[in-house]
Amino acid sequence: MENSKINKSESVLQLLNDTAGDIRSMIQDVISSDEQKIDRITSCFTKLPLIKRGTIILAQGQVCRHFYFIETGCVRSYYITKEGLEKTRLIMFERSPLTVLSSIISQKPTIEYLETLEDTILYSISQVDFFLLRKEIPEWDEFYQKILEDAFLFQNSKIEELVTLSAKERYEKLQKEKPHYIQRVTNKVLATYLDISQETLSRLKSK
């Protein structure tokens, strides 16, 4: 990538998916800074051992104390309604940033779960170090602000789709824009992401 500085027209996730590599290359993809600052940022990250599929990284009632990048694998964020139904809020793949923003910012218990959908390798930074870097390195603070913007736009878009699009239209939109979701995520989880029944999803996939 010739220019790794964040562009307003590109999401953090788009930038991270442009190239492959370790935590250093992920950081260099989303901020433009000197080697000393990059060294400082990467030194705060720890590469975690392989996390098996189906592992709950964060559970309802816990406080989110880490921010992650996904090296390999897939993780979802979901919550459980009062009726006991799972609702998947987002699904993240390789080279994506991952956390529960409301909890890591407020340091209050979350209602969400983070669960690995595949065997996954994560890079982790503590909440304390993450926010300390914001004060030390302006480029890291810019990255954080971009994450907040992306999160707002994503959630707003998802709400609009639920209100304005039919189940068929939501599935077709996902199939066109994010086919890897359909290829890698089970029908059970995908149905909770699209807010439709598994039976409806099966019918749509068979057409």
Q: What secondary structure, in 3-state letters, does the chain show?
A: CCCCCCCCCCCHHHHHCCCCCCHHHHHHHHCCCCHHHHHHHHCCCEECCCECCCCEEECCCCCCCEEEEEEECCEEEEEECCCCCEEEEEEECCCCEECCHHHHHHCCCCCCEEEECCCEEEEEEEHHHHHHHHHHCHHHHHHHHHHHHHHHHHHHHHHHHHHHCCHHHHHHHHHHHCHHHHHHCCHHHHHHHHCCCHHHHHHHHHC
| Per-residue pLDDT band at 176 (split at 50, 70, 90) | very high
pLDDT in tens, 20-29: 358 998 888 8
Tokens found for residue 139: 């480029």
- What pLDDT shows up at residue 12? 46
33 or 91: which leads in pLDDT: 91
Q: Are strands 121-126 and 66-72 parallel, antiparallel or unpaired?
A: antiparallel
Domain boundaries, the chain: 12-164, 165-207
CA proximity to 155, closest of 74, 101, 86, 81: 101
Superfamily of domain 12-164 in the CATH hierarchy: Jelly Rolls (2.60.120.10)
pTM (2 d.p.): 0.85
Residue 2 has pLDDT above 50, yes or no: no
Tokens of 57: 């990284």
Q: Hey, CA dihedral for 189, 195, 201, 204, is it positive or negative?
A: negative
**Residues forming a β-bridge with 75:** 92, 116
Cβ-count burial 120-131 (b if 16+ within 10 Å, e if not): bbbbbbebebbb
pLDDT of 116 over the 50 cut: yes
- Per the prediction, the chain carries an average pLDDT of 90
Q: How far is CA 158 from CA 101, 151, 166, in A?
A: 17, 11, 13
In this predicted structure, the answer to whether residue 177 has a pLDDT above a threshold of 60 is yes
The pLDDT tens digits of the residues spanning 138-168 come to: 999 999 999 999 999 999 999 999 999 999 9
The answer to whether the beta carbons of residues 109 and 103 sit under 8 Å apart is yes
